Amino acid sequence: METTLAVAVFIISYVFIMSEKINRALVALAGGVFMLLSGIYSWEEAFTSFIDWSTITLLFSMMVLVSITKKTGLFEYIAILLAQKVKGAPIPLLIVTGVLTAIGSALLDNVTTVLLFVPILLTLTSKLNLPVFPYLLTVILCANIGGTATLIGDPPNIMIGQAVEHFTFMSFLVHLGPVVFLIFVTTLGGLVFLFRKSLVMGEGDQVRSMMEIDPSSYLKKTPMLYQSVSVLSLTILGFLLHAFVHVELTTVAVCGAILLLLLTEREADTEKVFEEVEWITLFFFMGLFMLVGGLEQVGVIDELARGMIWVTEGDLPSTALMILWISGLFSGIVDNIPFVAAMIPVIKEFQSYGMTNLDPLWWSLALGACLGGNGTLIGASANVVVAGLASSARHPIGFLKFIAYGMPVVLFSLVVCTVYIWFRYLVPFMQASM
């Protein structure tokens, strides 16, 4: 009975989220609360087991950092500088957007990258009078693709890296980097082809005036500017070095946010900074974690994972490809974090089936979970954050409109990954087994 109820609540909530007729945060929270009232789990379980407070806190901290930094004019400065470098040309700007987002997502995590980059992009498209959707879509897709390449790029990779002792930063780069690069280049080329007609250069006077602007004139050269740049730089450095200094990403972000709040208290009132935080996005995440937690509590996610073992009968090639496709498609429906959390112990159990080399399974899980996040607006953390920022800037991204672009990218990515995993890992395994 509980299983049926949890699945029904999840599906109904998901339908309302897709319809966009009611605020998505309200829908997700209502679904989570209904599961609480139904006795599927308790408040204590929801708060201690299902809501990922680490992710929520990381998002909140980065929103605070971005909110204060935005007041200094730094984003406008970077936006105009970027526009001048590409001479206001829309297609080169789209390519630069994709490249910078992918690189940033690989070196930082993709959530931090979109939090830093989207405000710049919104400013830039407004000044050049360009359509916003192609650029926001590019940011989301490239953030998830780029984040797949490294250990710290996407939360699922961090979880897998912590679960497998012999995986290092370079392991992810060497094993996932080649296929990620191929998918990135092809996807970016496809986006340029799809939007080439709508990305038209603005009026000559508009571009000319943009080229004549002095970018530094937008900078408010007060102590807050130097404090913001310094703390933001230190925070990013902390993200890059967190594996070496053994400090969690969330801790680094919280320290950066509190430090900047203390330093800028006179110029940026703390209450006003908190008012600018994307609370709708944060509460949506809480509700989403509660909804997926309900499925986890009644064993739906765990049964799905264990069903793979039964179907493949422990065969490595079949299991690897099934993990790739199931995780890829499932991560488009629910957030990939709880799914990966459920899959990690299951993959470890495969050793009891006689599998000695589990690495192909781990790489399949990483590729499927990270790339599958491009399927829908709630498939990955970066998607939800970009949608929240866009909505607050009065450029909402339609749920179904995003699926029309995101799902084909996911299917293409999974096909490419299937070929890659088959020839790089499975063919050598089968040859060695003969």
CB neighbour list of residue 236: distance below 8 Å, 6 or more residues apart: 108, 112
Question: Contact at 8 Å (CB) between 168 and 130?
Answer: no
DSSP 217: G
CA–CA distance from 25 to each of 146, 260, 291 (Å)? 27, 28, 12
Other Cβ atoms closer than 10 A to 305: 21
DSSP 154: S
Which phi and psi (to 5°) does residue 254 adopt? -65, -45
Per-residue pLDDT of the chain (434 residues; tens, 9 = 90+): 788 999 999 889 888 887 778 888 899 899 999 999 988 999 998 888 888 888 788 878 888 988 898 888 887 788 788 878 888 788 998 998 999 899 888 877 788 788 878 888 888 888 788 899 999 999 999 999 999 998 878 878 878 887 887 887 788 989 999 999 999 999 999 999 999 888 876 655 566 777 777 888 878 888 999 999 999 889 878 877 766 777 877 888 899 999 999 999 888 889 989 988 888 888 988 888 888 888 888 888 777 767 777 887 767 888 899 999 989 998 887 767 767 877 787 788 777 666 778 899 999 999 999 999 999 988 887 898 898 888 878 888 988 899 999 999 999 999 999 999 999 988 887 777 66
Full-prediction pTM beyond 0.75? Answer: yes
Question: Contact at 8 Å (CB) between 90 and 206?
Answer: no
pLDDT of residue 434: 64
pLDDT of residue 364: 95
Q: Is the dihedral of CA 222, 250, 67, 386 positive or negative?
A: positive
Question: Contact at 8 Å (CB) between 146 and 188?
Answer: no
In angstroms, the CA 386 to CA 115 distance is 7
- Please report where in the chains the tokens 């203390």 appear, as a residue: 262
- Per DSSP, the three-state class of 248 is coil
pLDDT of residue 419: 96
